[in-house]
Chain A
């Protein structure tokens, strides 16, 4: 019976895979403790507090320089988004109206300039597909 020749790189790959599994398991066990959760969240709270204080200082500094803060810009963005949403709604209403008018005119045999300019809709195949019959 022929023995399988040794493959040092194959052994190394197996070891790497085993190390990954055990390292993940050990780390997961450590991270599932109360101490880890407490410490992790403590670090996050300190970071957030620092971020909040820095944000307040920067806002005051920018106000002194008569410059907008991030909050001011976000607020402007919010207003622009509201306008954009409203425009979207109006465009939707107009599109639906145009589509309805186009249907009526087409029925009457007319061709509007808008209809001539409108992009051609993607041709959709018929919705007649049936699932293939099950095999024996």
Chain B
């Protein structure tokens, strides 16, 4: 009896709320269609070096004093770096600047047709070393922390393994694949019995962004449709809509990949699993992860559907550093580093680990 009397006003309140939300959905739905895409990459920055697909940005400090050691972020080659600088209050970069870090970022543009010949050699032996040199020059300090995200992490560990003693002070990786045999679906799709990577690269030059985007999307084929329904359901909620739009825009902003770099990724990393096996060679030099002796932090996501935890876990076991830590956090491939949950889970932990190692 008491439950019935208590639930009647509840029901009325719920109906009232739903009617309000339905009206708000209609109004805001029109606003959504009519309004321009949200501004992303909000922290002030300067382009300090450009070399074709490579852009090196220096973010303007926002604190009265900064740590001695600068931080160089190496973004994944498939996506734009503004995912780490989405909007005020949702930006890892902004957070790091406020906490006193001197932040640089290697952000990639779509490779030009003539850059189809770029290889791991160009990324790990030319681009990153040149950027580290420029950071050292600008900061006046030899020590630099390198932070790589996803395939940016693969490039960073390759660089760190091949450039021991060249000024890299700390290495941080986010969701970095090492054991490519554990990336089950990608393995299936790139099965050497069916997938003619030579034909793809020889015909296309650079691998089209559409192909990369569809590859990611196929990992969770129902999620896009569900996302649209959830957007409609939450159209009344400005915060949800803003977040949806920023992530959707970023997701659609997938970059093409340099042809030769893609060919190497498929043949050496996917087919031969060479990075994990210790047989991966760049410029005739073996990438031995045991050669990484600087303090190393690897952040992995519990629900990462792109780089599964089985694929990312081995890094910490393989590096030769004595000061090393693997941090497993709730979240997915993106949400572990960007967005409201990352603000609570990852960022303070990253600051705590990095701060004491940046003096």
Besides A2-B6, A2-B7, A125-B66, 11 more A-B contacts (Cβ < 8 Å) are A3-B7, A24-B221, A27-B222, A28-B219, A37-B188, A40-B194, A48-B196, A129-B66, A129-B68, A129-B358, A131-B356
In the assembled complex, which residues on chain B have CB atoms less than 8 Å from the CB atom of A122? Answer: 46, 60
Given contacts A5-B7, A127-B139, contact A16 B229 (CB under 8 A): yes
In the complex, whether A32 has a CB less than 8 A from a CB of chain B is yes
User: Contacting B10 at CB < 8 Å: which of A5, A38, A129?
Assistant: A5
Chain A nearest CB from B14 CB (Å) reads 7
Bound-complex Cα distance A117 to B68 (A): 30
Do A127 and B113 touch (CB < 8 A)? Answer: no
B63 interface contact, C-beta 8 A: yes
B350 vs chain A, min Cβ distance (A): 12
A residues whose Cβ falls under 8 Å from a Cβ of B: 1-3, 5, 7, 9, 13, 16-17, 19-20, 23-24, 27-28, 31-34, 36-38, 40-42, 44-45, 48, 51-52, 55, 70, 74-75, 77-78, 81, 85, 88, 122, 124-132
From B100, B193, B195, B219, contact of A129 by CB (8 A): B100
> Smallest CB–CB gap between B109 and chain A, Å?
13
B114 close to A124 (CB less than 8 A): no
CB distance from B219 to the nearest CB of A (A): 7
Q: List 11 A-B contacts (CB under 8 A).
A: A24-B222, A32-B184, A51-B203, A74-B114, A81-B112, A127-B67, A129-B68, A129-B100, A129-B358, A131-B358, A131-B359
A42 to chain B, nearest CB (A): 8
Contact B200–A48 (Cβ < 8 Å): yes
Asked if B66 and A23 sit within 8 Å, CB to CB, the answer is: no
Q: Are B61 and A125 in contact (CB under 8 A)?
A: yes
CA distance A75 to B114 in the complex (A): 7
Q: Please indicate the chain B residues that have their CB under 8 angstroms from the CB of A126 in the complex.
A: 65-66
**Inter-subunit contact B139/A74 (CB<8 Å):** no
Instruction: Flag B129-168 by CB within 8 Å of A: 1 or 0 each.
Output: 0000000000101000000000000000000000000000
Q: How far is the CB of B69 from chain A (nearest CB, A)?
A: 8
In the complex, the answer to whether A124 meets B61 with C-beta atoms within 8 Å is yes
Establish whether residues B52 and A41, one from each chain, have CB atoms under 8 Å apart when the complex forms. Answer: no
Min distance, Cβ B78 to any Cβ of chain A, angstroms? 18
Interface size on B, residues (CB 8 A): 57
A-side contacts of B23, CB under 8 Å: none
User: Distance in Å from the Cβ of A45 to the closest Cβ of chain B?
Assistant: 6
| Given the contacts A16-B226, A16-B229, A78 and B114 also touching, CB distance less than 8 Å | yes
Residues on B with C-beta less than 8 A from A88 are 50-51
Are B221 and A77 interface neighbours, CB within 8 A?
no
The reply to whether the CB of B27 lies closer than 8 angstroms to some CB of chain A is no
How distant is A4 from chain B, measured CB to nearest CB, in Å? 9
Residues in chain B near residue A16, CB distance under 8 A: 226, 229-230
Closest to A128 in B: B65
Q: Please, what's the 1-or-0 string for B288-309, where 1 marks a CB less than 8 Å from any CB in chain A? A: 0000000000000000000000
Report the Cα distance A77→B206, complex, angstroms.
Answer: 15
Q: Which residues of the other chain, A, contact B222 by a CB distance below 8 angstroms?
A: 19-20, 23-24, 27
Nearest-neighbour CB distance to chain A for B72, whole angstroms, equals: 15
| A24 to B191 alpha-carbon distance, docked (Å) | 21
Give the chain A neighbours of B188 by CB distance below 8 A: 31-34, 36-37
Among A34, A85, A125, A131, the most chain B Cβ lie within 10 Å of the Cβ of A131
Q: Which residue of B lies closest to A124 (CB)?
A: B61
In the complex, B278 has a CB within 8 A of chain A: no
Mask, B1-12, CB within 8 Å of A = 1, is 011001100110
Within the complex, the shortest CB–CB distance from A77 to chain B, in Å, comes to 6
Task: Report Cα–Cα, A63/B338, bound state, in Å.
Answer: 50
- Assembly CA distance A64 to B170 (angstroms): 59
B204 at the interface (CB under 8 A from A): yes
Judging by beta carbons under 8 Å apart, are A129 and B67 in contact? yes
Most buried by B among A36, A38, A41: A41
Q: Please list the 8 inter-chain residue pairs (A to B) with the smallest Cβ-Cβ separation, ordered nearest first.
A: A131-B355, A78-B114, A23-B222, A41-B194, A5-B7, A74-B113, A129-B100, A20-B226
